[in-house]
A = this chain, B = another copy of it.
Amino acid sequence: MRRVLWAASILAACLFLTAAGIGAQDPVPAVAAGAVLLEDLVAANRILADQGIVDGYGHVSVRSDRNPNRYFISRSLAPELVTADDLMELDLDSNPIDARGRNSYQERFIHGEIYKARPDVMAVVHMHAPAVIPFASSSVVLKPMFHMSAFIAEGVPVFDIREAAGITDMLVSNSTLGAALARALGSRPAALMRGHGAVIVGPSLPITVGRSVYLKTNAEMQAQAIMLGGTIKYLDPEEARKAGTPDGYQRAWTLWRRKALGR
């Protein structure tokens, strides 16, 4: 009798754990980076999808915490589907260290060339959020609407691939184009890409993801403010400098990460 009860209890526990998605997390593979960093990168992929920053396209990378000349990024896959097993290590020329037959994103050079040019950058997001692209292709300039997007006051240049390379397929698919984009970005936190999207950088994954979210929010708010037809008071550059990144987006990151990883 007792054995039946024990067996039933174990089955019930298994059922519950399965239903709750506990145990469904992907094990972090044994690669040359801290486990938390890679788990954060998986979370970042899913957060960007949850927040509508990326759809089937777009990507996010993080610089290795063990070797500044390496970065991690998913194999060519929609960010929403990324698990730890999909992560690849690349050098700064964007060559995979151990591809194991997996394909890389065609535009991985965006990441490698920015890491080369910007030692301060630890994470890079590339995305096509619909709210942002109108500003990438308009003469109207993106400006900071509120303290959460104060970083926009540093300037968000527009990279026009045509100025760098004439008529192209619009993709940043080699080192030369990646380096041109990195030059357009300069020392700024983000750049728009005409007819394409945007690239956002930062000193950590939480800050880079947070900037991506609030770049989009700011674009939506600015479009609405313009539509009202009155005069608009953007954040003063000095206010923006003081505001900085309010809390490194840590309060939001805690929320987003928990939801993205289901715990």
Contact = CB atoms under 8 A, between A and B. Distances in A.
Interface stretch (A65-73, A93-101, A179-187, A215-223): A215-223
Contacts of A260: none
A224 B56 CA distance: 22
A36 interface: no
Interface in A200-253: 217, 220-236, 238-239, 242-244, 246-247, 249, 251-253
A77 B255 CA distance: 8
A138 B230 contact: yes
A60 B29 CA distance: 41
Contact of A137 (B5, B170, B233): B233
Contact of A169 (B57, B168, B239): B239
A86 to B, nearest CB: 12
Nearest to A49: B255
A30 interface: no
A32 interface: no
Contacts of A116: none
A194 interface: yes
Interface string A1-44: 10111011101101110110000000000000000000000000
Contacts of A171: 147, 243, 246
A167 B227 CA distance: 28
The 8 closest A-B pairs by CB, nearest first: A56-B252, A139-B230, A134-B225, A78-B255, A140-B230, A147-B170, A169-B242, A140-B228
